[in-house]
Structure 1
Amino acid sequence: MPRILAIDYGLKRTGIAITDELQIIASGLTTLATKDLFVFLKDYLHKEKVELFLVGEPKQMDNTASESEVFIIPFLNRLEKEFPNIPIKRVDERFTSKMAFKTMIDSGLKKKQRKNKALIDEISATLILQSYLYSK
């Protein structure tokens, strides 16, 4: 069975998470510079089958689009153009950064390790993916 790949898109860094082949477990894969994202995806998709992209959808508390959505729309357009055979779903990503930080605290990471924003992005992508899997 193909995997599901989740993307926590950011202007500087992007977190990536992936399911196992049975689509049961969500695991953080990596965080990379956003400028390298499409090179990474092309390489990854040559090695692994992916049936769905999940992309975080930042929203305000009143359920309106976040101001960062204007940066995500061009990314979504390019993603659809580069990989037309893989559908894209959006997943509400409110609170994922806070939940990622709490996860880091709960797992016993030291204060210096918790300042690693790349790790927060990867955990956030994993939380986006987990919430989708729970909703299925």
Structure 2
Amino acid sequence: MARILAIDFGKVRTGLAVTDELKIIASGLTTVATKEVIDYLKDYTAKHEVELFLVGEPKQMDYTPSESESLILPFIGRLKHAFPEMPIKRVDERFTSKMAAQTMIDSGLKKKQRKNKALLDEISATIILQSYLYNL
């Protein structure tokens, strides 16, 4: 059975999360340097069956695209070129960074550990994936 992989794209780092094969549980996968994310995904999909990429869609409070959307659209173009057969869906990612930060606090991480931006990006990708699974 195939997995769903969520992508929280960032200018410097990109957080990744993946489901289990039954698509029940969303788990953080890793955070990758954005310039290396396509290569990482090629390697990952060669080893694991993935049926769908979810890419976070940053929006303003009034549902208009945020400024970072201009960075994400070229990435999606590269993703489509690298994986022409893979479906790509967008998921509203408003508040995921705040939710990820709160998750880090709630889990008892010390202040120094909460400054780990890579972990924040991975948790954000997991939240994007969880919200998609919840709305299935």
Query: Shorter-chain TM-score: what band?
Result: over 0.9
| Aligned twin of 1:75 | 75
RMSD: 0.4
Aligned pair 1:42/2:47, yes or no?
no
Identify the residue that residue 110 of structure 1 maps to in structure 2.
110
Taking every aligned residue pair, what percent have the same amino acid on both sides? 74
Q: Following the alignment from structure 1 to structure 2, what is the Cα–Cα distance between the partners of residues 17 and 11?
A: 17
* Long gaps (5+) in structure 1: none
Residue identity opposite 1:49 in structure 2: E
Question: Residue 85 of structure 1: CA displacement?
Answer: 1.0
Distance 1:25 1:85 in 2: 24
Aligned-partner residue type, residue 78 of structure 1: R
User: What are the equivalent positions in structure 2 for 1:6-85 lying under 5 Å apart?
Assistant: 6-85=6-85
Q: Name the SS of the counterpart of 1:46 in structure 2.
A: helix
User: Partner letter of residue 54 of structure 1?
Assistant: L
Q: CA deviation at 1:116?
A: 0.4
Moved segments of 4+, more than 3 Å = none
1:82-109 Cα offsets, whole Å, 9 max, x none, are: 1011100000000000000000000000
Alpha-carbon distance in structure 1 between the residues aligned to 2:85 and 2:50: 10
Once the 2 structures are TM-superposed, how far is the Cα of residue 81 of structure 1 from its aligned partner?
1.1
Distance 1:80 1:32 in 2: 19
Task: Compute the displacement of 1:32 (Å).
Answer: 1.1
Question: Letter of the aligned partner of 2:84 in structure 1?
Answer: P
TM-score normalised by length of structure 2: 0.99
SS in 1 for 2:121: helix
- Shift of residue 25 of structure 1? 0.2
Equivalent pairs counted in the alignment come to 136
